[in-house]
Amino acid sequence: MTKNIARVVAAGSILLLAPALVLAQHPKIAPDLEGRAANSTVDVIVRFQSAPGAEQHQRILARGGRLNTDLGSMQAGAYRIAVSALQDLANDPDVVYIAPDRPLRGLLDNAAAAVNADIVKSYGLTGAGIGVAVIDSGVSHDPDLYGNRVVYEESFLGDRTTSDPYGHGTHVAGIVGGTGKKSGGRYAGIAPGANLVNLRVLDQNGAGADSTVMAAIQRAIQLKSRYNIRVINLSLGRAVFESYTLDPLCQAVEAAWKAGIVVVVAAGNEGRNNSVNTHGYGTIGAPGDDPYVITVGAMKTMGTPARTDDLIASYSSKGPTAIDHIVKPDLVAPGNCVVSILDKGSTLASEFPGNTVSNFYFQLSGTSMATPMVSGAAALLLQAQPGLNPDQLKARLMKTAYKQFPVSSLATDPVTAQQYQSYYDVFTVGAGYLDIAAALANNDVAVGYALSPSAVFDETTNTVKLAPTAGLENIQAIWGSVAVWSAQVIWGEAIWGDQAVWGDQVLWGDQVIWSDAVAVGSLWGSQAPWASATTSSESTGIAINGEN
């Protein structure tokens, strides 16, 4: 009798699983619909050959479904439908692809845990006494930030308002140092005790100019002693038009660096850009192309506090930099679907109401959100060890970064269902994933400059190797032969497998970092594969919908 029952259960299991297995094998059905019970319903996004109209909607209604949202401009619609009907729907020649209407959630508490910021609480560090200049679209008067937290504010735009009509700068400031007061601390920033200096350079549409950014950097240098400004956050940027040695914006960030201020810059959101057949390589923006600054790419927390399942965001810009071929980014940090302060009256809030998490918080994605993670970490480290100079802090963060990555990963755009493959090479993740606790636990103090190295292309052998920054070879760089600061220690063997980072090993061509995907020569011209004459938070800071 027991054996017969077992056979019946097993047979029943096969009957229940069979539709799911068949479903998963259909090329038009997303693999993550596998395992759904045939008698259940599911919210899906259906992409069509063209913008769906009444006829396409009716076909789904005839199968027992209902329309949730018309996404006609995206040649799609969002529907609720029985799982059992998906196979038949996928056979419709008008249907291109069916994907689950995947939930997008991003919590700053997950992001903080991923970089070990939660452990820092046991140190009693909050960034207190450290000034962080947020050069952005302004900062709104919000209970999570104001009181005596914003110690100085100034606008470099014609309207002179220091509030945030765009909504970007407030979100960034919240990641750096929001208290999380309105969420019971859940959405607190990385350094909730840091002093914030609000320098507004972007307008209500997130656009600005080099001159206003440079004026704000100049002001931060002038106010350094008065407000102990030790960090500048630049979640903005533009295309690279000339060498960093000539670019006035790059020279401005170098001036701040040499004045003793750590400058943290967004890498950009062009990692999916294949317009010149580089698969997103060579798309770092300015001033993130400068070898002095800390340039930050974006990771996805995958909705969990553990970092072991975290993956690179496919939109995160990749190095080497155009023209100078500097190895960038330097670090990666959580940047996808990050929750921070909502400015209800801002442009972003009105344009993307679906990103609202509550009456007080909002989620955004991009390297703009990853950058203040590192700025907050810098404030904590400087509170603990105020004697660190910018190069020593950069070196410490890079050396202690978490370096355990997969060889590659696949990301799916939640709207288009287009897939993007990323490789975890030095031009994608830099020295690794920000680990604040590891940086605080480390006491190594570098002597010299933490200049990001160059990637040098040898036309005779068609290979690329890491080398001292071009034009600065005579400056004493940290990444030398000393074991504590060797390039192998900083960038880690895990990124390269059995390959050495430094020396004679080939880093180009058919090696694992490229996987035959990139045309070798196309990165070495004088032009970046993307261009914009405007300094903007959006060009390097926002991928509004995030990714799966």
Annotated active-site positions, please? Answer: 136, 168, 368
3-state helix, strand, coil in the chain (%, to 5): 30, 20, 50
Q: Considering all CA atoms of the chain, what is the largest pairwise distance in Å, rounded to the nearest integer?
A: 86
Q: Is 211 exposed, middle or buried (0-12, 13-18, 19+ CB in 10 A)?
A: middle
DSSP 202-240: --TTSEE-HHHHHHHHHHHHHTHHHHTEEEEEE--BB--
- SS3 at position 325: coil
Looking at the DSSP bridge assignments, the partners of residue 419 are: 412
Strands (E), 22-82: 41-48, 66-71, 76-82
Which residues, at least 6 apart from 89, have a Cβ–Cβ distance to it below 8 Å?
Answer: 46, 59, 60, 63, 81, 95, 98
d(CA 31, CA 99): 8
CB-based contact 291:451 (threshold 8 Å): yes
Closest by Cα among 187, 235, 196, 150 to 340: 187
The encoded tokens of residue 539 equal 């060009």
Strands (E), 413-518: 419-423, 454-458, 463-467
CB-based contact 173:375 (threshold 8 Å): no
d(CA 163, CA 353): 20
For residue 455, the one-letter residue type is A
The encoded tokens of residue 245 equal 């040695």
The encoded tokens of residue 388 equal 């660190």
CB atoms within 10 A of CB 371: 33
Closest by Cα among 97, 91, 100, 98 to 42: 100
CB atoms within 10 A of CB 483: 8
Strands (E), 49-203: 66-71, 76-82, 95-100, 131-136, 150-155, 195-200
d(CA 518, CA 530): 16
Please provide residue 49's backbone torsions phi and psi, each rounded to the nearest 5 degrees.
Answer: -65, -30
Strands (E), 7-165: 41-48, 66-71, 76-82, 95-100, 131-136, 150-155
User: Which residue is it, tokens 């040098």?
Assistant: 456
Looking at the DSSP bridge assignments, the partners of residue 457 are: 464
